[in-house]
Amino acid sequence: MADGNDVFDVIVIGAGPVGETVAGRAVRGGLTAAVVEERLAGGECAYYACIPSKALLRPVDLAAEVSRMPGLELRGPIDAAAVLARRDETVSHLDDGGQVSWIENVPATFVRGRGRLAGPLLAEVTTPDGGTRTLRARHAVVIATGSDPAVPDVPGLREARPWTNREATSVQQVPKRLVVIGAGPVACEMSQALHALGAQETTMLVRGDRLLARTEPFAGELLAKSFQQSGIDVRFGRSPVRVERPIPGGPVTVHIDDGTRIEADEILVGTGRRAAVGDIGLETVGLQAHGPIEVDASMRATSVPDGWLYAVGDVNGRNLLTHMGKYQARVCGDVIAARAKGLPDDLPALRDTADDRGAPQVIFTDPQVCVVGRTESQARADGFAVRAVEYDMGAVAGAFLQADGYTGRAKAVVDEDRRVLLGVTFAGPAVVDLLHGATVAVTAEVPLDRLWHAVPAFPTVSEIWLYLLEECGL
Ligand SMILES: Cc1cc2nc3c(=O)[nH]c(=O)nc-3n(C[C@H](O)[C@H](O)[C@H](O)COP(=O)(O)OP(=O)(O)OC[C@H]3O[C@@H](n4cnc5c(N)ncnc54)[C@H](O)[C@@H]3O)c2cc1C
Ligand SMILES: NC(=O)c1ccc[n+]([C@@H]2O[C@H](COP(=O)([O-])OP(=O)(O)OC[C@H]3O[C@@H](n4cnc5c(N)ncnc54)[C@H](O)[C@@H]3O)[C@@H](O)[C@H]2O)c1
């Protein structure tokens, strides 16, 4: 049984960016909270995903910018050792002391160990010394355990101990020959970063016919062109059928479905994620122990009676993005506090409405790919009266000042019935800061006739908005 010190209003299992945020909001709402973490507070995002990957990509982006500006020249290739050293700084050398202090300053109680449900409102923690600590929640338990990389069932692949995002982002010695499986954000970002940092022979095996298949087709086409120009070997319609690595850590041979094979120093899988629900005691509360935990718009697990279990972030499978998980966490922490105090729990801020409209996302490659809302094909499939307009970003004054030979494209998807934007995509250099304007327009459903009066400054790349609206007939 939990002793008096181990009873909290809210228990959060998993101290990634999402779990930390739930605790912060619940305490802000007047509750007490405990946060359980088995590895590093800060989660995948801080040490093996968003932060280190962007630290590896930023110099690549800058170098590309320099190469497009006459009069500027890099003195030599990118100094990979310096980049890796800076990467180590950005991940605090894998020391989570700063994150633990943040949690304690909330103030919330930090509990190091592996957490699992042990029945309604009960969690059991296996502590690093092998002991067990039982925590009891008065109001809610929140699962924020994130996700793990999915490794495809290719004969010999698991035995070859492939790299996942963890090894790729914490790389110490960049392999010269690299094979990457996948064409999503992980595969694209890490292929470009590692290629620029020394993986001279980088081959991407893409089972479909484009990169970033969930985005507008032109985004993947621009990216593929950029990869091919830089020397990355992108093979479409190709999958590995067998992998061999006879000597652990030695060269790896990848047999491909066209009968050819590649020898490489390392193989990286970027083939999606699985919700981290293994061995967290879901069966003790009647939930199935595989797949994302389904939740309602207040983040409550839909299949658990009495409404005390919540799930936020990657583990609920809504949108596997840090900012969307943290948004869900704000909803979740606030709604738990409201319910605990018997306050109205159905205010607009206490419901997730952003996930369904389409999350904003930036793929930090060169070119950058920024998306929010629906693509044209998604909007059509959802039954909207769609009008889609595109514009060449290279024709915008701000863009051609930005770089010689600026290549980029933008697209807006409009709901003709309501005259609001359903989705926007930008692909090109230095487009990242255009995204939030698009997010405001899409999520707040700003009518096009009002958007027309949001005049973009000259000569900025934002003038793309003017041209897209003109294409819509304004
Ligand atoms: C290479 C890569 C790059 C990415 N880049 C971006 C990006 O640029 N922008 C973006 O928005 N998203 C990005 N993402 C996605 C982002 O990393 C995730 O969406 C985000 O980390 C999810 O946060 P989370 O808190 O739900 O899970 P996590 O960050 O995975 O944290 C979950 C935490 O729970 C802990 N845990 C798990 N089980 C238990 C247990 N039983 N007991 C105790 N603790 C437990 C884990 O140790 C972990 O610390 C990237 C992902 C990858 C793989
Ligand atoms: N900058 C960012 O926002 C960013 C960066 C990295 C990751 N993420 C997020 O993290 C999550 C994971 O990213 P991801 O790229 O691993 O997953 P993903 O699901 O986005 O892409 C997986 C890719 O692997 C391919 N694939 C899947 N199974 C395969 C198989 N058996 N054989 C060959 N190919 C296979 C798919 O066709 C796809 O191209 C995503 O939700 C992504 O949005 C975000």
Closest-CA residue, ligand 2 atom 17, reads 272
Is the confidence at residue 228, as pLDDT, over 60?
Answer: yes
287, containing H or E segment? none
- Average pLDDT, stretch 85-108? 98
- The pLDDT, as a whole number, for residue 2 is 61
Q: Helices 217-230 and 185-196 sit at what angle, rounded to 10 degrees?
A: 20
* Residue 278 pLDDT class (50, 70, 90 cuts): very high
What's the CA gap between 102 and 159, in Å, rounded?
39
Ligand showing the shortest atom-to-Cα distance for residue 299: 1
Ligand 2: centre distance to CA 369 (Å): 15
* Residue 314 pLDDT class (50, 70, 90 cuts): very high
Closest-CA residue, ligand 2 atom 26, reads 271
Closest-CA residue, ligand 1 atom 15, reads 321
Ligand showing the shortest atom-to-Cα distance for residue 165: 1
- Average pLDDT, stretch 455-465? 97
Q: Which atom of ligand 1 is found nearest the CA of 279? A: 41
Is the confidence at residue 241, as pLDDT, over 70?
Answer: yes
- The pLDDT, as a whole number, for residue 60 is 96
What's the CA gap between 384 and 413, in Å, rounded?
10
Q: Where are the beta strands (DSSP E) in 343-441?
A: 361-363, 368-373, 386-392, 409-415, 420-428
* Residue 1 pLDDT class (50, 70, 90 cuts): low
Ligand 2 probe mutation, 147, 194, 257, 320, most atoms within 8 A of CB: 320
- Average pLDDT, stretch 312-320? 98
- Over the stretch 439-456, which tens digit does the pLDDT of each residue have? 999 999 999 999 999 999
Ligand 1: centre distance to CA 276 (Å): 10
Ligand 1: centre distance to CA 146 (Å): 5
Ligand 1: centre distance to CA 321 (Å): 8
What ipTM was assigned to the predicted interfaces of this complex?
0.99
* Residue 290 pLDDT class (50, 70, 90 cuts): confident
Q: Which atom of ligand 1 is found nearest the CA of 147? A: 30
Residue keyed to tokens 């992108």 = 234
- Average pLDDT, stretch 98-127? 98
Q: Which atom of ligand 1 is found nearest the CA of 323? A: 11
Ligand 1: centre distance to CA 94 (Å): 15
Q: Around Cβ 445, how many Cβ atoms within 10 Å?
A: 14
Q: HSE-up of 107 (CA within 13 Å, CB side)?
A: 1
DSSP class of 163: B
Closest-CA residue, ligand 2 atom 1, reads 363
Domains of the chain plus CATH, in order, are 4-42+96-148+274-350 (3.50.50.60), 158-271 (3.50.50.60), 367-471 (3.30.390.30)
Any residues with CB less than 8 A from the CB of 329 and at least 6 apart, and which? Answer: 18, 19, 20, 21, 22, 25, 144, 312, 313
What's the CA gap between 80 and 59, in Å, rounded?
10
Residue type, 410: A
Q: How many angstroms separate the Cα of 51 from the Cα of each of 163, 166, 326, 335?
A: 18, 12, 15, 29
Any residues with CB less than 8 A from the CB of 253 and at least 6 apart, and which? Answer: 243, 244, 245, 261, 262, 263, 264
